[in-house]
């Protein structure tokens, strides 16, 4: 299924940048890590390589560690952070309270939904 830019997303420059940097793959981690294996990296951000936070205290650890990496590599630069939501039909998986507080700075970019939702 093809990716479509969400109408009025305001991110056409991000689409251009993505196609220039990674022309062989849409912004889907499960495809990107295979197509560009030589560029793939995973940061283990929780103790014991735990993949997903279980509670707000682990979200705080995750946020602190991700901000540390961003500060080290990208201080003073514009950074786009791409995240994904998944769901059946028009429903999507909920996000944490910490993620919910960031909604004001969020805008949709692409959709892989057949109707572009």
Which residue range is the domain that position 94 belongs to?
Answer: 4-111
CA-based nearest residue to 47, from 31, 30, 65, 35: 65
pLDDT of residue 24: 92
Is residue 85 in a domain? yes
Domain count, the chain: 1
Is residue 117 in a domain? no
Say if pTM beats, i.e. exceeds, 0.75.
no
Measured over the CA atoms of residue 111, residue 70, residue 41 and residue 99, the dihedral's sign is negative
Q: Which residues lie below 8 Å from residue 60, measured CB to CB, with a gap of 6+?
A: 98
pLDDT in tens, the chain (117 residues): 567 776 666 678 888 888 898 899 888 878 888 999 998 887 788 888 898 899 889 989 988 998 898 899 999 888 877 777 666 555 554 556 656 666 666 667 777 665 544
């Amino acid at each position: 299924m093809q990716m479509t830019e969400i109408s009025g997303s305001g991110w056409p420059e991000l689409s251009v940048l993505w196609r220039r940097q990674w022309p062989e793959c849409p912004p889907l981690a499960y495809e990107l890590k295979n197509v560009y294996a030589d560029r793939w990296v995973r940061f283990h951000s929780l103790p014991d390589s735990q993949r997903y936070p279980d509670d707000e205290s682990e979200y705080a650890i995750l946020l602190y560690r991700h901000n540390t990496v961003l500060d080290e590599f990208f201080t003073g630069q514009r950074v786009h952070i791409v995240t994904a939501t998944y769901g059946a039909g028009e429903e999507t998986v909920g996000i944490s309270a910490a993620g919910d507080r960031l909604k004001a700075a969020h805008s949709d970019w692409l959709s892989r939904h057949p109707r572009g939702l």
